[in-house]
Amino acid sequence: MVEDVDFTLRFPFKVAPGQRIIGLEEACEQPVGPYVWQLEFKEPLYVLTVSGLPNEEACHEYKHMLWAALMWVQLQRGIAFKAEHAFEKIRFSADPEQVARNLERSLGLPYRGPVHGLANSNFPVAYPSSKQLRFCTVGDATLTVGTPAKQVLDVALEGHLIRRGMPVSLDEKYQTALDLYAAYSYEQTSNAKFLTLMLALECLLTPSPRHPVAREVLDGWRPELEARRNAYLPGSDEYVALDSILRELIFKRTDSLRRQVRTLVKESLAAVNDPRADALSSRAVEIYDARSTLVHEGALPSRELGQITQDAKEITESVLRAKYRRR
């Protein structure tokens, strides 16, 4: 007779300095379909556990959906999550009882029954639910501003339901934008915070061609430029200089970044019927101009920077939320 074994996915994460999830004096649980989600705090980590999965492969697959759900919490509640994504390989012990006694004797860990394996607490793991593991944690965290655990699970479930029927993993460009959005909470300076938000937005840009008249003019210059470049030896200063102009010419066939930013914001918000689409797309262009000033001149007036950063955060969040619903 084959034993019916279910698996548990343990997914640890941290939140940004100055943030915390409150109400975790005891673990917070919520049923999600055939599974059970459990959120708890194991200092310095939060741990989201899903039990009832059919096998280890399902745990690896479900981890992507779990991360996407937490990204929705990030967009809705402003909590910035940080997590390792590579699974930890568990070393199961041949004598679980002896391992438990050794841990009690050498590390002073209270005996809680046989220990079937040890794992690094910082990494996701998948294991048979019947097995008891011990986790080793390294690190510390400073946490101050709280979000109730029940709210985190409720919003994570909302994000999970939105993603039903979509690809399991978030696409790479969108995930990079989310990573940068999360990095905003970790940056220490006002300039870095603002530029990180703008980088998140730029990750989502899709180049579009300029007007045919403009492309016709640019294409007319190309043969002459290629001929002039090819008159010199490859690698020479002259060749490199002309080649860089040729590459710039090719790049100029697409719309300016300012226009791409406007299009991104307007089309993303219009796709979810956001009435702010026109206003925020116009504001996004002004903010992008400020970004160019900061990058090229090195500074913006502090009062102006504060408002621009606040508006950039609203626009970036709005675009990321809109795209979450459609990817």
State the pLDDT at residue 179: 93
State the pLDDT at residue 139: 47
State the pLDDT at residue 116: 77
- Average pLDDT by consecutive 10-residue portion of the chain (327 residues)? 73 91 94 95 93 94 94 93 87 73 65 75 90 67 67 93 85 92 88 94 81 73 84 88 77 69 94 96 93 86 88 96 87
CB 81 within 8 A of CB 47: no
- The pTM is what? 0.69
State the pLDDT at residue 250: 65
Distance (Å, rounded) from C-alpha 71 to C-alpha 73? 5
State the pLDDT at residue 142: 43
Distance (Å, rounded) from C-alpha 154 to C-alpha 203? 29
Distance (Å, rounded) from C-alpha 307 to C-alpha 313? 10
State the pLDDT at residue 121: 86
